[in-house]
Amino acid sequence: MIRRPSKLMRFVIVTAVVAVWIICIFKKDVFSKVRKNFQESADQTESIYRDRLILVNRTCRNSAKVSTHYNFFSSSKHGLSYCQSPKVGCTHWINIFRFLANATGDVLYKSPFDIPRLVTHEGSKRRMEYTTKLDKTINRNFKFMFVRNPYARLWSAFLDKFFLPDFWRSEGVIIQTYLKKRRVSCAKGISFGEFLEYIVSKPPSKLNEHWAPFRYICDPCDFHPDFIGNMETFKQDNKYILEKFGLAWIADDIVSRDHAMQEIRMLSEYNFDLLKVYKTECLNATSLSKLLWKTFQINGYIRINSILEESKNSNWNCETFTNKVLQQHKADKLSSEKAKDQKLVYMTAAYSRVPNSVLIKLRKLYKDDFEMFGYDPEFIPLNSPSLL
């Protein structure tokens, strides 16, 4: 004989069923809202990317043709073609294409971001899909480029190439000659103002790719990119491309890494390697360490008031110096907002010492960059607006 459940048991069962029903309805509603918000966010992102292309196409209608010196890196397997624009995260993207092509020499790396900077830019391109011409392969692929505020790009180029010693033996000597300074094999000490003065004295087609206006290295009016990323939204734009083409694991690898620590290691290693080609009276480990320390402060990786103490071994090497900076970076714990503010303080201070005559010429030289990519030429104000 089967017993009928008691009133209490029936109440418990009914209550449980109702509770499960309510939870299911609640979850369905929550999931629906999450799905809706996600879709709205995705639609908004796509809208931003479309607007960038619309702005470029509108500006191109009134632009004359220019002579462009392209550098394209492709992966036919993934249907991607990247137009290199220096000082806009190009090391990052070349590393990805090197990794995909297994073009890293005799060493195999677990991640694109383990590849040394010297290999990135000086390594053989033999195994890579690399070309300087806009060919059919490029046009078949998803073509993309990255851009940056012209003022920030120029400041970054100066720090990387002239404040630090990378271009002291090459472009620095040329600028030194232009400035009619006493020519020496090591052109250190070029100021930011002198660097900009040299740039505005040259026709844009003759400028180095690290500071040439974008149309002279990646002309969107000519190669018609499918996507334009911004340095200011680099992580988001980078993730969009990688996930879209089945490379989400690379995007995840980026998120898992501390960008500042990665930059500290890369810049330290690259610049300490340069000591091998410089004479002692031009550059030594101590003077290089001071320049790098200052650069890391300017870039917001360590605090302005953090002091570089003398090395216990009387001299720094790459390993001891890098460890010291990483230790300081962890101790300072600068938030992303504070780091950004610190960078902006240094940059605006540098531009405040540039003559208005040079700033006006800069606005004219980079006019297309400002208009095409939506940057404000008055982001860096003139010291005396009446001159306009």
pLDDT digits (tens, 9 = 90+) for 234-263: 999 999 999 999 999 999 988 788 899 999
- The token duo for 247 is 């490379």
279 close to 185: Cβ distance less than 8 angstroms: yes
* pLDDT (0 to 100) of residue 63: 86
**Confidence grade of residue 289 (pLDDT, cut at 50, 70, 90):** very high
**Confidence grade of residue 220 (pLDDT, cut at 50, 70, 90):** very high
| Contacts of range 276-285, beta carbons closer than 8 Å, 24 or more positions apart | 277/169, 278/165, 278/168, 278/169, 278/186, 279/185, 279/186, 282/165, 282/168, 282/185, 282/186, 282/188, 283/165, 283/168, 283/186, 283/188, 284/315, 285/315, 285/316, 285/317, 285/321
- The token duo for 297 is 């402060």
Q: What's the chain's average pLDDT?
A: 89
DSSP strand pairing (80-83 vs 129-131)? unpaired
* pLDDT (0 to 100) of residue 62: 87
Range 352-374 burial, b when 16+ CB lie within 10 A, else e: eebeeebbebbbebbebbbbbbe
**Confidence grade of residue 388 (pLDDT, cut at 50, 70, 90):** very low
- Closest C-alpha to 225, from 143, 158, 280: 143
**Confidence grade of residue 45 (pLDDT, cut at 50, 70, 90):** confident
* pLDDT (0 to 100) of residue 278: 82
- Closest C-alpha to 213, from 91, 378, 377: 377
Place of tokens 């010693």: 165
